[in-house]
Structure 1
Amino acid sequence: MKDVLSLTYEIIEGNGYVLIPDVLSPTQAEEARSMVLTDLD
């Protein structure tokens, strides 16, 4: 299993939703990335 940091980078890079397609749609993944990137600012 990947560690959280690796998953976080994949989500930021736009690849995270591929790992869990049944949970997040691409649109939801985009929203999640927006929230993560906003929190990092």
Structure 2
Amino acid sequence: MLTSKNPLKNDLITEEVIEKKIELSKIKSDSSLDDASLEI
């Protein structure tokens, strides 16, 4: 059970990290929207 759950948890964590990195890269690319994005 534990061995089968660990890979799934790792996949979910990596997915979240990738999504956050994509969001950060979008914010950095749009410096004009930086302040508005941080307020949300």
Normalization by structure 1: what TM-score? 0.41
Question: With CA pairs under 8 Å and 6+ residues apart, which has the higher RCO, 1 or 2?
Answer: 1
Normalization by structure 2: what TM-score? 0.42
